[in-house]
Chains A and B, each alone.
Chain A
Amino acid sequence: DTEVTQTPKHLVMGMTNKKSLKCEQHMGHRAMYWYKQKAKKPPELMFVYSYEKLSINESVPSRFSPECPNSSLLNLHLHALQPEDSALYLCASSQDRGTGGGRQPQHFGDGTRLSIL
């Protein structure tokens, strides 16, 4: 069982659709992350929120729009996606971002498996 909950688990959408991925954690973590993972590849960082503020955007195309409504929730709004955006989208959280040796482990959700038609 994971303490980071992601919905939906699966999503199929057309290239003109707008949809949102949701992530929720109730561990009191103050850092939240979005990753994209292709098959047999490592997770690729997309966005980092720290204390509800966007702190890292890894040059992600604007068709992906993150939102952090509060410290427990993280959304990823999708619009006009391309077939190559099909992947597993993972949300993660950590106590905070820490520095140096004080980095915290990241807790991942089960992910949303996204298919773009």
Chain B
Amino acid sequence: GQQVMQIPQYQHVQEGEDFTTYCNSSTTLSNIQWYKQRPGGHPVFLIQLVKSGEVKKQKRLTFQFGEAKKNSSLHITATQTTDVGTYFCAAYMEYGNKLVFGAGTILRVKS
């Protein structure tokens, strides 16, 4: 089936270090959304990228959508303990009708 591959599966960082998670698809994506799920919580929408090469920033978070609309990344600068959780990318394929989630990256931050 249609898949969005996400790596890494886990990332443990020291507080203050940077963090990046990557999503990749073999097919063109219509758009890509990013969600954060805190431990014991529910997914919370962070951002949506639609245009080829788009870059959006939210404070310490930078989101990118690849030129070919087949990949995306989320970069967190100077992680804090409040950043812990699972980050999911989720995308609609170019002619798809449902949101497909990546496997998620679990971020742990050591203080």
Interface size on A (CB < 8 Å)?
23
From B33, B51, B97, B102, give the contact of A105 (CB < 8 A): B33
> B85 within 8 Å of A by Cβ?
no
Secondary structure class of chain A's binding surface, majority of residues: loop
Q: Interface size of B by Cβ–Cβ distance < 8 Å?
A: 22
Quick check: A103 and B45 within 8 Å, CB to CB?
no
Instruction: Tell me if B42 counts as interface (CB < 8 A to partner A).
Output: yes
In the assembled complex, which residues on chain A have CB atoms less than 8 Å from the CB atom of B98?
A: 45, 48, 56, 58
Residues of chain B lying within 8 A (CB to CB) of residue A105: 33, 45, 48
A100→B92 CA distance, assembly (Å): 8
Q: Chain B: which residue is nearest A50 at the CB level?
A: B97
B106 at the A/B interface (Cβ < 8 Å)? yes
The A-contacting residues of B in range 7-53, CB under 8 angstroms, are 30-31, 33, 41-45, 48, 50-51
Decide: A109 and B31 in contact? CB cutoff 8 A. no
Closest partner residue, chain A, to B43 (CB atom) = A108
Q: Mark A73-117, 1 if CB is under 8 A from B, else 0.
A: 000000000000000001000000100110101111111000000
A2-B42, A109-B42 are known contacts. Are A41 and B97 too (CB-CB below 8 A)? no
Contacts of B44 in A (CB 8 A): 108
Decide if B101 is an interface residue (CB 8 Å cutoff): yes
- Cα A109 to Cα B45 in complex, Å, equals 12
Contacts of A42 in B (CB 8 A): 88, 90, 101-104
The 8 closest A-B pairs by CB, nearest first: A42-B101, A105-B45, A101-B50, A108-B42, A108-B43, A100-B30, A110-B42, A103-B31
Please name 7 pairs of A and B residues whose Cβ atoms are closer than 8 Å in the assembled complex, sorted by A. Answer: A43-B43, A43-B88, A48-B98, A103-B92, A105-B33, A106-B33, A109-B42
